Amino acid sequence: MAAPEPTRTPEPTGTTDAPPWRRPPRSHFPGVPAWGAPTADRPHERFDVTPLARVTPEWAWGGADGSGLRVCVLDSGVDGAHPLVGGLDGAFEVAAGARGGLAVVETEPYDVAGHGTACAGVIRSIAPGVSLTSVRVLTEGRHGTGEVLLTGLEWAVEQGYDVINMSLSTTKTRFRPALQELADRAYFRRCALVASAHNMPVRSFPWLFSSVISVASHDESDPMTFYYNPSPPVEFYARGLRVRVAWPGGGEILSTGNSFATPHIAGICSLILSKHRSLTPFQLKSVLYLAAKNVAGRDARREGDISV
C-alpha cells in the first residue's frame, strides 16, 4: 500500500499582492486608536479607484453650512449653554417610563460626562447651521446599558433625524440583532447613522454594520481632511488625535479617540445632505468616497480638473 500524501498547509489567503479588502486584519498601530491609521507619517497605500462622476469636495459641500439638517447626538448629554455648541433644539434622556420599561423624555440640556458636549461641538464647528438635539444614553462613567441604547436609537430613527452621531458601541453580541434591525430601519428611512469604531482592537456594534457610516481616526490636524479606507471594516478615517473639544462648563480640552473622529464625518455628512437633500444613504457613502482625500485628489489630478 502506498504511503498517504503528506498534509499540506494551505497557502495564506492574504498576500501582499492581494487588494486591501481581501487581506487579513491589519495589526494595531501604536499611538493611534484601534482601527485607525498614522496617515501623517505613513503614506497612504495606493489602490484602484473607479471614478463614478465628477464629484469633488467643492461639489459635495461647497457653500453649505448644514442649514435645514436635523442632527441627533446619542451620547452622555450635551451642555447646551456651551458657546462652542451654540444651543440645542432639544434635549432628551432615556429614563424609566411611567408604566415600567424605558422611555425617551425631555430633560435639561446638561452633560453628565463631557463626551456628548465634545462631539456636539465638533459637529457645530463643521456645520454651524444644523439643528442639534441631544439624547442621553450614557452615565457619568461614559457607560450605559444595551437596552437604553436601543431605546434612544429607536426613538431617534422614528423621529426622522437626518444624521445620528453615535460615538459609542457595545461589545455585547446579544444586542447585535436588535441594533442591526434598527440600523437597517434607519437606512431605509434615510437617517444616516455615523458610528465610531471601538478604540481597542475588538469587535463591537453598530459600527461593523454595512448600513452605517463607520469612522476611525487619522493623525492629521485638518478637520475637513478625511480618507476612504480600502481595507474595511472601518470605511473612513477622520481627525481624531489631539482634538481640541468643548467641555461642560464652557471650557475646552485636548482629547483623542475614534469618538471625536466620528462627529467630523457627521458634520461633513450634514454639509453634503444640506446641499443635496435627495441623496440616499448609499449615495451619501458614494459621495464621501469620491470626496475623500485619497480618492478625489488623485482622480482630479489624473483628469486634469485641478492644477498643482
pLDDT 10s digits, 243-271: 999 999 999 999 999 999 999 999 999 99
Q: Rounded to two decimals, what is the model's pTM?
A: 0.84
**Amino acid letter for position 121:** G
pLDDT digits (tens, 9 = 90+) for 71-95: 999 999 999 999 999 999 999 999 9
Task: Domains for the chain: give ranges and CATH numbers.
Answer: 65-297 (3.40.50.200)
All three cell numbers of 289? 468616497
Confidence band for 9, pLDDT divided at 50, 70 and 90: very low
The span from the CA of 38 to the CA of 295, in Å, is: 18
Catalytic hit among 76, 259, 270, 274? 259
Angle separating helix axes 115-126 and 258-275, nearest 10 degrees: 40
pLDDT averaged over every residue in the chain? 88
3-class DSSP string for 6-24:
CCCCCCCCCCCCCCHHHCC
| Backbone phi and psi for residue 239, each to the nearest 5 degrees, phi listed first | -60, 125
How do strand 236-239 and strand 213-218 relate by DSSP bridges? parallel
pLDDT digits (tens, 9 = 90+) for 208-247: 999 999 999 999 999 999 999 999 899 999 999 999 999 9
Q: How confident is the model at residue 46 (pLDDT cuts 50, 70, 90)?
A: confident
- 79 assigned to active site: no
pLDDT band at residue 165, thresholds of 50, 70 and 90?
very high
Which residue matches cell numbers 446638561?
Answer: 110
Which candidate, 251, 223, 255, places its Cα nearest to that of 237? Answer: 223
CA-closest candidate to residue 188, choices 281, 277, 72:
281
Residue 103: is it exposed, middle or buried by C-beta count within 10 angstroms (0-12/13-18/19+)?
A: middle
Query: Residue 262 CB: number of other CB atoms within 10 A?
Result: 30
Residue 47: pLDDT over 70: yes
Set of cell numbers at residue 279: 441623496
Q: Verify whether residue 255 is a known catalytic residue.
A: no
Three cell numbers at 115? 463626551
| Catalytic-residue membership of 198 | no
Q: Out of 79, 111, 115, 134, which one is annotated catalytic?
A: 115
pLDDT at 100: 74
- Binned at pLDDT 50, 70 and 90, residue 181 comes out as very high
